[in-house]
Amino acid sequence: MIKRTLIFSLFVWIGLLSTYAQTEAPVVNYPQFEKGYVYLKNGEIIKGQYIYSVNLDKIRVVSGNVSKVIDVSEIEMISKSKKVTNEDKMEKGLSNFVPSAKKFFNLTEMGLLIGNSDNKKDAPLVFRTSFDYNINKNVAAGLGLGIDFLNETYMPVTANVIYKFRNEKYSPYIMLQGGYEIPIDDSQLAYNDIVPSSVISYNTYYWSANKKLDPKGGFLFSPSMGLLVHLNSQFGLNMSVGYQYHRQHYTSSDDYKLDIDYNRLLIKLGITIY
């Protein structure tokens, strides 16, 4: 009986000591690799395994055969369960919404050239479309075409540079366009060629004749500022206000030349498609 009691007491003490050792022993949690999606602030999404550094200021991400170390200040968020789409971000109201990772996009606009009552057309309609390339998250550049309904119909061929101040749902931007207006129909202008009587014959009246002018087009320059509102990751609405200057050249068969300057306020509404 005494022997059984001693054996039982020994097991109890062993159990108590084991519990005490587990409670008091320091627990060291070493970082472990986890799987998920790492969203960078520049719009890049990396799928793979990641692990934090000991002081939690950096993350190593392993995706396939590529391993890179990223500073936590460059990371927007990490998702473990699924890939978060841009639509999910918009629904959750995340301020640093990245509209699209696509490099190419189309910007199509329609607007009015307002002002300069010296010209025949007070507010002619203009149409612009351009195909642009995202050089980085803020800067894009591209080429564009359009239709301007001035005294004649012109097709502007332009080069565009766009700078976005931030790449979010509401993205203010500035744009600079430059190019050449190509006439695509006949001129509606003519001029009177007046000749003194002494040139024609003695003691006659002045003689005049209407002569048609041929449009030759001219260079244009247009800075503007606007706001791009992303409705989803593929589509956005934009509005802009700017200034447009262009000079239209005209010539006639007798080497007569005429220049008409346009200095206009340019107001445009449009869509952006990624």
DSSP strand E in the chain: where?
Answer: 34-40, 45-52, 58-63, 66-71, 75-79, 104-114, 125-134, 139-149, 153-164, 170-183, 190-195, 207-212, 214-230, 235-251, 257-273
How far apart are alpha carbons 243 and 232 in whole angstroms?
Answer: 29
Q: What is the pLDDT of residues 165-191, one digit of tens each?
A: 987 788 999 999 999 998 887 766 655
Q: ∠ at Cα 262 (238, 246), nearest 5°?
A: 75
Q: Which neighbouring-strand residues pair with 212?
A: 190
As a CATH number, domain 104-273 is: 2.40.160.20
Give the residue extent of every domain in the chain: 27-84, 104-273
Q: Residue 19's pLDDT is what?
A: 46
CATH class for the region spanning 27-84: mainly beta
Mean pLDDT of 36-58: 81
Mean pLDDT of 195-222: 66
Residue recorded with tokens 């587990």: 22
Residue recorded with tokens 């020994």: 10
Q: What is the pLDDT of residues 211-268, one digit of tens each?
A: 677 888 889 999 999 999 988 777 899 999 999 998 888 887 777 788 888 888 999 9
User: Is 70 exceeded by the pLDDT of residue 103?
Assistant: yes
Residue 17 CB-density burial (10 A; 0-12 exposed, 13-18 middle, 19+ buried): exposed
Of residues 168 and 149, the one with the higher pLDDT is: 149
How far apart are alpha carbons 37 and 54 in whole angstroms?
Answer: 21
User: Is 90 exceeded by the pLDDT of residue 139?
Assistant: yes
Q: Cβ of 65: how many Cβ atoms within 10 Å?
A: 5
Q: ∠ at Cα 221 (115, 153), nearest 5°?
A: 65
Our measurement of the distance from residue 162's CA atom to the centroid of its chain's CA atoms, rounded to an integer in Å, reads 7
